[in-house]
Amino acid sequence: MPSPKVLVINVAALAPEHIARCQNIARLATEGWTAPMDLVFPAVTRTSQATLTTGVPPAQHGIVANGLFDRDTLSFGFWEQPVKLVQAPRLWDLLKQRDPSKTCAILFWQLSLYANADVIVSPKPIHEDHGGMIQWCYSKPVGYYEQLCQKLGGFKLHHYWGPLAGIGSSRWIAQAAIATLREKQPDLTLVYLPHLDYSSQKFGPQSPQLERDLQKVDDLVGQIVAAAGPETTVFIVSEYSITPVTGAILPNRILRRASLLAVREIAGREYLDIEHSKAWAMVDHQIAHIYCQPGAVETARAALSQEPGIEFRKPDHARSGELVIVAPRDKWFAYYWWLDDRRAPLFARHIDIHRKPGYDPCELWFDWPRLRIPLRPDRVRGSHGRDDVPATFVARGPAAPPRRERVAMTDVAGWILDCFR
332-333 vs 248-249, strand pairing mode: parallel
Residue 362, pLDDT score: 97
Residue 421: predicted pLDDT: 87
pLDDT at 43: 98
| Degrees to nearest 5, angle at CA 380 with 219 and 17 | 40
The arithmetic mean of pLDDT across residues 13-17, rounded, is: 98
pLDDT of residue 1: 57
Query: Does residue 2 have a pLDDT over 80?
Result: no
Over residues 6-14, the mean pLDDT reads 98
Class of domain 6-243+386-418: alpha beta
Does 349 have pLDDT greater than 90? yes
| pLDDT tens, residue by residue, 213-264 | 999 999 999 999 999 999 999 999 999 999 999 999 999 999 999 999 999 9
Indicate the angle between helix axes 196-203 and 208-228, nearest 10 degrees. 170
Q: How far apart are CA 303 and CA 322, in angstroms?
A: 14
Residues 73-116 pLDDT 10s? 999 999 999 999 999 999 999 999 999 999 999 999 999 999 99
Task: Please state the length of the chain.
Answer: 421
Q: Which amino acid is present at 218?
A: D
* 15-33 as b/e: b if 16+ CB within 10 A: bbebbeebebbbebbeebb
80: Cα within 13 Å, side-chain hemisphere: 18
CA end-to-end distance (rounded Å), the chain: 13
pLDDT at 133: 78
For CATH 3.30.1360, list the domain ranges present in the chain. Answer: 248-380
Contacts of 143 (CB under 8 A, 6+ apart): none
pLDDT at 37: 98
DSSP E strands, 269-381: 269-272, 279-284, 287-292, 311-313, 323-326, 332-333
* CATH architecture of the domain formed by 248-380: 2-Layer Sandwich (3.30)
Please report, for residues 16, 199, 351, 384, the alpha-carbon distance to residue 208 in angstroms, rounded to integers and kept in the order given: 18, 9, 26, 19
Classify the C-alpha dihedral 363-259-288-250 as positive or negative. negative
**Amino acid, res. 105:** A
What pLDDT sits at residue 409?
Answer: 98
Residue 260 Ramachandran class (φ > 0 left, ψ -120 to 50 alpha, else beta): alpha
pLDDT of residue 371: 84
Greater confidence, 3 or 184?
184
Where are the CATH 3.40.720.10 domain residues in the chain? 6-243+386-418
